[in-house]
Amino acid sequence: MKPFEKQAVTADNALWENCNARLEPIDRRQNEIRSNFWRDYNRILHSKAYRRLKHKTQVFHATQNDHVCTRIEHVQHVCSVSYSIAQQLGLNTELALAIGIGHDIGHAPFGHDGEKILNQLAEQHYQGHFWHEGNGLFFADKIEMLQNENGTNTRLNLTYAVRDGIISHCGEVDQNSLYPRNEYIDLYSITRPNQYPPYTWEACIVKIADKISYLGRDLEDAQRLKILGKIQLEELNDIRRRYYSHLLPSASNTALIHNFAIDLCQNSTPQKGICFSEECFQTINAIKEFNYRHIYSHPRLAYYRQYAGMIITSVFHLLNHLYKNGTPEQGIRENEACFPKLIRSFHKWLDDYTDYNANNNNIIYSVLDNQSEYQKSIIGFISSMSDYFAIEIHHELISFE
Protein backbone atom coordinates (compact mmCIF):
# COMPACT_ATOMS: atom_id res chain seq x y z
CA MET A 1 0.00 0.00 0.00
CA LYS A 2 1.28 3.45 -0.89
CA PRO A 3 1.74 5.82 2.06
CA PHE A 4 -0.97 8.36 1.17
CA GLU A 5 -3.64 6.15 -0.39
CA LYS A 6 -6.04 6.74 2.50
CA GLN A 7 -5.48 10.50 2.25
CA ALA A 8 -6.05 10.75 -1.52
CA VAL A 9 -9.05 12.77 -2.68
CA THR A 10 -11.20 9.84 -3.81
CA ALA A 11 -14.85 8.97 -3.34
CA ASP A 12 -14.29 7.37 0.08
CA ASN A 13 -12.46 10.45 1.43
CA ALA A 14 -14.44 12.64 3.85
CA LEU A 15 -13.32 15.69 1.83
CA TRP A 16 -14.71 14.33 -1.43
CA GLU A 17 -17.92 16.37 -1.50
CA ASN A 18 -16.18 19.62 -0.56
CA CYS A 19 -13.38 19.06 -3.04
CA ASN A 20 -15.81 18.42 -5.91
CA ALA A 21 -18.07 21.39 -5.14
CA ARG A 22 -18.46 23.97 -7.91
CA LEU A 23 -19.75 27.54 -7.75
CA GLU A 24 -22.52 26.66 -10.24
CA PRO A 25 -24.02 23.44 -11.60
CA ILE A 26 -21.98 22.19 -14.56
CA ASP A 27 -23.29 20.76 -17.81
CA ARG A 28 -23.17 16.96 -17.74
CA ARG A 29 -23.22 14.69 -20.77
CA GLN A 30 -24.82 11.26 -20.53
CA ASN A 31 -21.75 9.72 -22.17
CA GLU A 32 -19.15 11.63 -20.10
CA ILE A 33 -16.04 9.50 -19.51
CA ARG A 34 -13.97 11.97 -17.48
CA SER A 35 -13.77 12.55 -13.75
CA ASN A 36 -14.52 15.99 -12.31
CA PHE A 37 -10.83 16.77 -11.91
CA TRP A 38 -9.97 15.58 -15.40
CA ARG A 39 -12.71 17.84 -16.76
CA ASP A 40 -11.07 20.71 -14.86
CA TYR A 41 -7.72 19.85 -16.44
CA ASN A 42 -9.30 19.97 -19.90
CA ARG A 43 -11.19 23.19 -19.20
CA ILE A 44 -7.99 24.95 -18.16
CA LEU A 45 -6.07 23.44 -21.09
CA HIS A 46 -8.56 25.00 -23.53
CA SER A 47 -8.68 28.41 -21.82
CA LYS A 48 -7.13 31.52 -23.33
CA ALA A 49 -5.26 32.30 -20.12
CA TYR A 50 -3.41 29.00 -20.41
CA ARG A 51 -2.58 29.54 -24.10
CA ARG A 52 -1.08 32.97 -23.39
CA LEU A 53 1.45 31.43 -20.99
CA LYS A 54 3.53 30.37 -24.00
CA HIS A 55 4.52 34.02 -24.44
CA LYS A 56 4.91 34.95 -20.78
CA THR A 57 8.25 35.17 -18.99
CA GLN A 58 9.48 32.50 -16.62
CA VAL A 59 12.79 34.20 -15.73
CA PHE A 60 14.36 35.37 -19.00
CA HIS A 61 12.07 37.70 -20.89
CA ALA A 62 10.85 37.37 -24.49
CA THR A 63 13.89 35.36 -25.43
CA GLN A 64 14.50 34.46 -29.06
CA ASN A 65 16.16 31.23 -27.94
CA ASP A 66 13.70 28.38 -28.43
CA HIS A 67 15.35 26.34 -25.69
CA VAL A 68 14.87 28.84 -22.86
CA CYS A 69 11.96 28.16 -20.53
CA THR A 70 8.72 30.11 -20.87
CA ARG A 71 5.86 30.16 -18.38
CA ILE A 72 3.90 27.48 -20.23
CA GLU A 73 6.90 25.12 -20.17
CA HIS A 74 7.32 25.71 -16.45
CA VAL A 75 3.67 24.76 -15.97
CA GLN A 76 4.22 21.51 -17.85
CA HIS A 77 7.28 20.75 -15.73
CA VAL A 78 5.19 21.27 -12.59
CA CYS A 79 2.50 18.96 -14.00
CA SER A 80 5.06 16.26 -14.74
CA VAL A 81 6.75 16.42 -11.34
CA SER A 82 3.40 16.62 -9.52
CA TYR A 83 2.05 13.58 -11.37
CA SER A 84 5.14 11.48 -10.62
CA ILE A 85 5.13 12.31 -6.91
CA ALA A 86 1.35 11.93 -6.53
CA GLN A 87 1.43 8.55 -8.27
CA GLN A 88 4.28 7.28 -6.12
CA LEU A 89 2.63 8.43 -2.87
CA GLY A 90 -0.82 7.11 -3.79
CA LEU A 91 -2.56 10.48 -4.21
CA ASN A 92 -5.04 11.53 -6.90
CA THR A 93 -2.93 12.17 -10.00
CA GLU A 94 -5.77 13.80 -11.97
CA LEU A 95 -6.30 16.37 -9.24
CA ALA A 96 -2.56 17.05 -9.07
CA LEU A 97 -2.44 17.56 -12.85
CA ALA A 98 -5.47 19.88 -12.85
CA ILE A 99 -3.94 22.08 -10.16
CA GLY A 100 -0.56 21.97 -11.88
CA ILE A 101 -1.83 23.10 -15.27
CA GLY A 102 -3.87 25.92 -13.72
CA HIS A 103 -1.51 27.16 -11.03
CA ASP A 104 0.00 30.06 -13.03
CA ILE A 105 -2.90 31.27 -15.18
CA GLY A 106 -2.97 34.51 -13.14
CA HIS A 107 0.62 35.49 -13.92
CA ALA A 108 1.31 38.95 -15.31
CA PRO A 109 3.48 39.62 -18.37
CA PHE A 110 7.21 39.79 -17.60
CA GLY A 111 7.05 37.26 -14.77
CA HIS A 112 7.44 38.19 -11.13
CA ASP A 113 8.79 41.62 -12.08
CA GLY A 114 5.56 42.39 -13.93
CA GLU A 115 3.66 41.16 -10.90
CA LYS A 116 5.55 43.55 -8.61
CA ILE A 117 4.91 46.49 -10.93
CA LEU A 118 1.18 45.80 -11.11
CA ASN A 119 1.08 45.49 -7.32
CA GLN A 120 2.79 48.88 -6.96
CA LEU A 121 0.25 50.47 -9.32
CA ALA A 122 -2.64 48.87 -7.43
CA GLU A 123 -1.30 50.16 -4.11
CA GLN A 124 -0.72 53.66 -5.47
CA HIS A 125 -4.06 54.12 -7.20
CA TYR A 126 -6.72 52.29 -5.21
CA GLN A 127 -5.00 50.85 -2.12
CA GLY A 128 -5.30 47.38 -3.59
CA HIS A 129 -2.93 44.47 -4.14
CA PHE A 130 -2.00 42.32 -7.09
CA TRP A 131 -0.59 38.82 -6.58
CA HIS A 132 -0.65 36.18 -9.25
CA GLU A 133 -2.15 33.41 -7.08
CA GLY A 134 -5.17 35.56 -6.22
CA ASN A 135 -5.40 36.75 -9.81
CA GLY A 136 -5.35 33.13 -10.97
CA LEU A 137 -8.41 32.33 -8.86
CA PHE A 138 -10.12 35.51 -10.11
CA PHE A 139 -9.46 34.64 -13.75
CA ALA A 140 -10.61 31.05 -13.23
CA ASP A 141 -13.83 32.16 -11.55
CA LYS A 142 -14.73 35.39 -13.35
CA ILE A 143 -12.81 36.08 -16.55
CA GLU A 144 -12.14 32.90 -18.50
CA MET A 145 -14.97 31.58 -20.66
CA LEU A 146 -15.50 28.42 -22.70
CA GLN A 147 -18.16 27.63 -25.26
CA ASN A 148 -20.41 24.71 -24.42
CA GLU A 149 -21.95 22.35 -26.98
CA ASN A 150 -24.69 24.87 -27.70
CA GLY A 151 -22.21 27.65 -28.46
CA THR A 152 -22.96 29.51 -25.21
CA ASN A 153 -20.07 31.04 -23.27
CA THR A 154 -19.77 29.66 -19.75
CA ARG A 155 -17.22 30.19 -16.99
CA LEU A 156 -14.56 27.58 -16.22
CA ASN A 157 -16.48 26.75 -13.02
CA LEU A 158 -13.71 24.61 -11.53
CA THR A 159 -13.99 22.38 -8.49
CA TYR A 160 -13.10 23.72 -5.06
CA ALA A 161 -10.00 21.51 -4.80
CA VAL A 162 -8.53 22.88 -8.03
CA ARG A 163 -9.44 26.48 -7.22
CA ASP A 164 -7.86 26.06 -3.80
CA GLY A 165 -4.70 24.64 -5.35
CA ILE A 166 -4.41 27.64 -7.67
CA ILE A 167 -4.63 30.27 -4.94
CA SER A 168 -2.57 28.24 -2.43
CA HIS A 169 0.30 27.16 -4.66
CA CYS A 170 2.93 29.75 -3.71
CA GLY A 171 6.17 27.81 -4.13
CA GLU A 172 8.27 29.55 -1.50
CA VAL A 173 8.26 26.82 1.13
CA ASP A 174 10.65 27.64 3.95
CA GLN A 175 9.63 24.91 6.38
CA ASN A 176 10.53 21.29 5.71
CA SER A 177 7.12 19.83 6.40
CA LEU A 178 3.87 20.68 4.69
CA TYR A 179 0.40 19.58 5.80
CA PRO A 180 -2.98 20.53 4.35
CA ARG A 181 -5.33 22.70 6.37
CA ASN A 182 -8.55 21.31 7.84
CA GLU A 183 -10.80 24.30 7.18
CA TYR A 184 -13.14 24.49 4.19
CA ILE A 185 -12.96 28.25 3.77
CA ASP A 186 -14.19 30.89 1.33
CA LEU A 187 -11.17 31.13 -0.95
CA TYR A 188 -11.68 34.88 -1.35
CA SER A 189 -10.89 35.26 2.34
CA ILE A 190 -7.28 34.49 1.36
CA THR A 191 -5.67 37.89 0.87
CA ARG A 192 -1.95 37.13 0.52
CA PRO A 193 0.40 34.32 -0.58
CA ASN A 194 1.09 31.61 2.00
CA GLN A 195 -1.67 32.87 4.30
CA TYR A 196 -3.06 29.34 4.52
CA PRO A 197 -1.71 25.95 3.50
CA PRO A 198 -3.64 24.14 0.75
CA TYR A 199 -6.78 22.09 1.49
CA THR A 200 -5.54 18.81 -0.02
CA TRP A 201 -2.38 16.73 0.00
CA GLU A 202 -2.45 16.91 -3.81
CA ALA A 203 -2.22 20.70 -3.69
CA CYS A 204 0.65 20.40 -1.22
CA ILE A 205 2.45 18.26 -3.81
CA VAL A 206 1.98 20.93 -6.50
CA LYS A 207 3.26 23.59 -4.10
CA ILE A 208 6.47 21.60 -3.60
CA ALA A 209 6.73 20.56 -7.27
CA ASP A 210 6.68 24.25 -8.22
CA LYS A 211 9.99 24.73 -6.39
CA ILE A 212 11.52 21.46 -7.61
CA SER A 213 10.65 22.43 -11.19
CA TYR A 214 12.09 25.93 -11.33
CA LEU A 215 15.39 25.63 -9.43
CA GLY A 216 17.21 23.36 -11.86
CA ARG A 217 15.65 24.77 -15.00
CA ASP A 218 16.58 28.33 -14.07
CA LEU A 219 20.16 27.15 -13.57
CA GLU A 220 20.11 25.43 -16.95
CA ASP A 221 18.81 28.53 -18.74
CA ALA A 222 21.28 30.81 -16.93
CA GLN A 223 24.15 28.63 -18.15
CA ARG A 224 22.79 28.61 -21.70
CA LEU A 225 22.51 32.41 -21.71
CA LYS A 226 25.98 32.92 -20.18
CA ILE A 227 24.57 34.42 -16.98
CA LEU A 228 26.69 31.97 -14.98
CA GLY A 229 30.43 31.67 -15.50
CA LYS A 230 33.03 29.14 -14.37
CA ILE A 231 33.42 30.68 -10.91
CA GLN A 232 29.68 30.53 -10.21
CA LEU A 233 29.40 26.97 -11.53
CA GLU A 234 32.22 25.86 -9.26
CA GLU A 235 30.42 27.48 -6.32
CA LEU A 236 27.30 25.56 -7.31
CA ASN A 237 29.22 22.30 -7.35
CA ASP A 238 30.65 23.14 -3.93
CA ILE A 239 27.07 23.44 -2.63
CA ARG A 240 26.22 20.03 -4.10
CA ARG A 241 29.31 18.39 -2.64
CA ARG A 242 28.84 20.00 0.76
CA TYR A 243 25.23 18.97 1.32
CA TYR A 244 24.17 16.11 -0.91
CA SER A 245 27.12 14.77 -2.90
CA HIS A 246 26.43 11.05 -2.31
CA LEU A 247 23.01 11.28 -4.02
CA LEU A 248 23.44 14.21 -6.43
CA PRO A 249 25.93 13.31 -9.19
CA SER A 250 25.72 16.80 -10.74
CA ALA A 251 23.88 20.09 -10.44
CA SER A 252 22.07 19.59 -13.75
CA ASN A 253 18.35 20.11 -14.09
CA THR A 254 17.80 16.37 -14.68
CA ALA A 255 19.74 15.37 -11.56
CA LEU A 256 18.06 17.98 -9.35
CA ILE A 257 14.50 17.12 -10.40
CA HIS A 258 15.01 13.37 -10.16
CA ASN A 259 16.82 13.31 -6.85
CA PHE A 260 14.68 15.93 -5.13
CA ALA A 261 11.49 14.11 -6.19
CA ILE A 262 12.85 10.73 -5.05
CA ASP A 263 13.99 12.16 -1.73
CA LEU A 264 10.55 13.70 -1.17
CA CYS A 265 8.80 10.40 -1.90
CA GLN A 266 11.11 8.48 0.42
CA ASN A 267 10.67 10.86 3.35
CA SER A 268 7.01 11.95 3.19
CA THR A 269 4.34 10.30 5.32
CA PRO A 270 0.96 11.48 6.61
CA GLN A 271 2.54 11.78 10.06
CA LYS A 272 5.68 13.68 8.98
CA GLY A 273 3.97 15.64 6.20
CA ILE A 274 5.29 16.31 2.72
CA CYS A 275 8.99 16.72 3.43
CA PHE A 276 12.56 16.17 2.29
CA SER A 277 15.44 14.72 4.22
CA GLU A 278 17.26 17.41 6.18
CA GLU A 279 20.32 17.28 3.92
CA CYS A 280 18.17 17.56 0.79
CA PHE A 281 16.21 20.45 2.30
CA GLN A 282 19.47 22.28 3.11
CA THR A 283 20.66 21.67 -0.46
CA ILE A 284 17.46 23.12 -1.92
CA ASN A 285 17.71 26.23 0.26
CA ALA A 286 21.38 26.69 -0.63
CA ILE A 287 20.65 26.41 -4.36
CA LYS A 288 17.70 28.77 -4.02
CA GLU A 289 19.97 31.32 -2.28
CA PHE A 290 22.57 30.81 -5.03
CA ASN A 291 19.94 31.45 -7.73
CA TYR A 292 18.76 34.65 -6.07
CA ARG A 293 22.32 35.93 -5.71
CA HIS A 294 23.69 35.00 -9.13
CA ILE A 295 20.65 34.78 -11.43
CA TYR A 296 17.62 36.73 -10.24
CA SER A 297 19.80 39.65 -9.04
CA HIS A 298 22.03 39.68 -12.12
CA PRO A 299 22.55 43.17 -13.67
CA ARG A 300 21.12 42.03 -17.01
CA LEU A 301 17.82 41.26 -15.31
CA ALA A 302 17.89 44.70 -13.67
CA TYR A 303 17.79 46.28 -17.15
CA TYR A 304 14.93 43.97 -18.00
CA ARG A 305 13.01 45.08 -14.89
CA GLN A 306 13.34 48.70 -15.96
CA TYR A 307 12.10 47.79 -19.43
CA ALA A 308 9.11 45.86 -18.09
CA GLY A 309 8.29 48.69 -15.70
CA MET A 310 8.35 51.26 -18.49
CA ILE A 311 5.97 49.20 -20.64
CA ILE A 312 3.44 48.34 -17.93
CA THR A 313 3.32 51.79 -16.32
CA SER A 314 3.02 53.54 -19.70
CA VAL A 315 0.06 51.40 -20.72
CA PHE A 316 -1.57 51.80 -17.30
CA HIS A 317 -1.24 55.60 -17.24
CA LEU A 318 -2.55 56.06 -20.75
CA LEU A 319 -5.63 53.95 -20.04
CA ASN A 320 -6.14 55.65 -16.68
CA HIS A 321 -6.13 59.06 -18.38
CA LEU A 322 -9.01 57.98 -20.62
CA TYR A 323 -11.33 58.27 -17.62
CA LYS A 324 -13.20 61.57 -17.54
CA ASN A 325 -16.43 62.57 -15.79
CA GLY A 326 -17.15 59.07 -14.54
CA THR A 327 -16.65 57.25 -17.84
CA PRO A 328 -13.85 56.39 -20.31
CA GLU A 329 -16.10 57.07 -23.31
CA GLN A 330 -14.68 60.46 -24.29
CA GLY A 331 -11.09 59.31 -23.78
CA ILE A 332 -11.67 56.24 -25.92
CA ARG A 333 -13.10 58.38 -28.70
CA GLU A 334 -10.22 60.85 -28.58
CA ASN A 335 -7.46 58.19 -28.65
CA GLU A 336 -8.88 55.53 -30.97
CA ALA A 337 -7.19 56.88 -34.10
CA CYS A 338 -3.74 57.20 -32.46
CA PHE A 339 -3.70 53.86 -30.66
CA PRO A 340 -6.10 51.58 -32.54
CA LYS A 341 -4.81 48.20 -31.31
CA LEU A 342 -4.69 49.20 -27.65
CA ILE A 343 -8.04 51.00 -27.68
CA ARG A 344 -9.80 48.20 -29.57
CA SER A 345 -8.56 45.49 -27.22
CA PHE A 346 -9.27 47.51 -24.09
CA HIS A 347 -12.69 48.55 -25.41
CA LYS A 348 -13.53 44.86 -25.88
CA TRP A 349 -12.34 44.14 -22.31
CA LEU A 350 -14.65 46.87 -21.00
CA ASP A 351 -17.54 45.54 -23.09
CA ASP A 352 -17.01 41.97 -21.86
CA TYR A 353 -16.48 42.60 -18.15
CA THR A 354 -17.84 46.00 -17.10
CA ASP A 355 -21.00 48.09 -17.04
CA TYR A 356 -19.53 50.34 -19.74
CA ASN A 357 -21.56 48.18 -22.11
CA ALA A 358 -25.20 48.70 -21.11
CA ASN A 359 -26.14 45.31 -22.59
CA ASN A 360 -23.53 43.35 -20.67
CA ASN A 361 -24.95 40.69 -18.35
CA ASN A 362 -21.49 39.70 -17.09
CA ILE A 363 -20.43 42.70 -15.03
CA ILE A 364 -17.22 41.97 -13.13
CA TYR A 365 -16.14 45.60 -12.64
CA SER A 366 -18.64 48.45 -12.08
CA VAL A 367 -16.54 51.21 -13.63
CA LEU A 368 -19.09 53.94 -14.32
CA ASP A 369 -18.72 56.71 -11.73
CA ASN A 370 -16.16 54.56 -9.88
CA GLN A 371 -12.57 55.25 -10.91
CA SER A 372 -11.11 52.72 -8.46
CA GLU A 373 -13.08 49.93 -10.14
CA TYR A 374 -11.97 51.30 -13.51
CA GLN A 375 -8.34 51.15 -12.36
CA LYS A 376 -8.85 47.58 -11.13
CA SER A 377 -10.15 46.70 -14.58
CA ILE A 378 -6.97 48.15 -16.14
CA ILE A 379 -4.80 46.01 -13.87
CA GLY A 380 -6.82 42.94 -14.84
CA PHE A 381 -6.52 43.81 -18.52
CA ILE A 382 -2.75 44.28 -18.36
CA SER A 383 -2.29 41.11 -16.30
CA SER A 384 -3.92 39.13 -19.09
CA MET A 385 -1.36 40.26 -21.68
CA SER A 386 1.47 38.14 -22.97
CA ASP A 387 4.92 39.73 -23.02
CA TYR A 388 4.77 40.07 -26.79
CA PHE A 389 1.37 41.74 -26.82
CA ALA A 390 2.46 44.20 -24.10
CA ILE A 391 5.59 45.05 -26.13
CA GLU A 392 3.51 45.45 -29.28
CA ILE A 393 1.07 47.76 -27.50
CA HIS A 394 3.90 49.83 -26.05
CA HIS A 395 5.47 50.12 -29.50
CA GLU A 396 2.16 51.56 -30.72
CA LEU A 397 2.31 54.18 -27.94
CA ILE A 398 5.75 55.43 -28.88
CA SER A 399 5.69 55.05 -32.68
CA PHE A 400 4.68 57.64 -35.27
CA GLU A 401 3.83 56.15 -38.62
Rounded CA-CA distance 148/157 in Å is: 12
Task: With H, G, I as helix, E, B as strand and everything else as coil, classify residue 340.
Answer: helix
Domain that holds residue 38: 5-105+144-296
Residues 275 and 155 in one domain: yes
Question: Of 242, 273, 296, which marks where a domain is finished?
Answer: 296
Residues 268 and 161 in one domain: yes
Residues 171 and 227 in one domain: yes
Q: Are 88 and 26 in contact (CB under 8 A)?
A: no
Phi, psi of 86 (to 5 degrees): -60, -40
pTM: 0.96
Rounded CA-CA distance 388/62 in Å is: 7
Residues 303 and 287 in one domain: no
- The reply to whether 220 falls in a domain is yes
Question: Of 296, 329, 354, which marks where a domain is finished?
Answer: 296
CA angle 50, 113, 386 (to 5 degrees): 30
Q: Are 194 and 217 in contact (CB under 8 A)?
A: no
- The reply to whether 78 falls in a domain is yes
Instruction: Please give the sequence-ordered ranges of beta strands (E in DSSP) within 41-187, or none if there are none.
Output: 145-147, 153-155
Q: How many helices (H) and strands (E) does the chain have?
A: 17, 2
Query: Half-sphere exposure of residue 360, counting CA atoms within 13 Å on the CB side?
Result: 18
Residues 265 and 352 in one domain: no
- The reply to whether 43 falls in a domain is yes
Question: Of 246, 274, 296, which marks where a domain is finished?
Answer: 296
- The pLDDT score that the predictor gives to residue 393 is 97
How many structural domains comprise the chain? Answer: 2
- The pLDDT score that the predictor gives to residue 171 is 58
- The reply to whether 30 falls in a domain is yes
- The pLDDT score that the predictor gives to residue 62 is 65
DSSP secondary structure, 74-103, as one string: HHHHHHHHHHHHHHHHT--HHHHHHHHHHT
Cβ-in-10-Å burial (0-12, 13-18, 19+) of 179 comes to middle
Of all helices (H) and strands (E), which one includes residue 165? helix 160-167
Q: Which residues contact 43 (CB under 8 A, 6 or more apart)?
A: 146, 156, 157, 158
- The pLDDT score that the predictor gives to residue 173 is 61
DSSP secondary structure, 221-283, as one string: HHHHTT-S-HHHHHHHHHHHHHHHTTT-S-SSHHHHHHHHHHHHHHH-BTTTBB---HHHHHH
- The reply to whether 267 falls in a domain is yes
The residues pairing with 324 across neighbouring beta strands, listed in sequence order, are 327
Residues 282 and 383 in one domain: no
Residues 261 and 394 in one domain: no
Residues 269 and 172 in one domain: yes
CATH number, domain of 155, equals 1.10.3210.10
- The reply to whether 98 falls in a domain is yes
Cβ-in-10-Å burial (0-12, 13-18, 19+) of 162 comes to buried
Residues 237 and 322 in one domain: no
Q: Are 130 and 383 in contact (CB under 8 A)?
A: yes
Q: What is the pLDDT along the chain (401 residues), one digit of tens a residue?
A: 899 999 999 999 999 999 999 999 887 777 888 899 999 999 999 999 999 999 999 999 866 788 999 999 999 999 999 999 999 999 999 999 999 999 999 999 999 999 999 999 999 999 999 999 999 999 999 999 998 878 788 899 999 999 999 999 985 666 679 999 999 999 999 999 999 999 999 999 999 999 999 999 999 999 999 999 999 999 999 999 998 888 788 888 999 999 999 999 999 999 999 999 999 999 999 999 999 999 999 999 999 999 999 999 999 999 999 999 999 999 999 999 999 999 999 999 999 999 999 999 899 999 999 999 999 999 999 999 999 999 999 999 999 87
Residues 333 and 292 in one domain: no
Residues 267 and 361 in one domain: no
Residues 186 and 285 in one domain: yes
Distance of CA 32 to the CA centre of its chain: 29
Task: With H, G, I as helix, E, B as strand and everything else as coil, classify residue 380.
Answer: helix
- The reply to whether 346 falls in a domain is yes
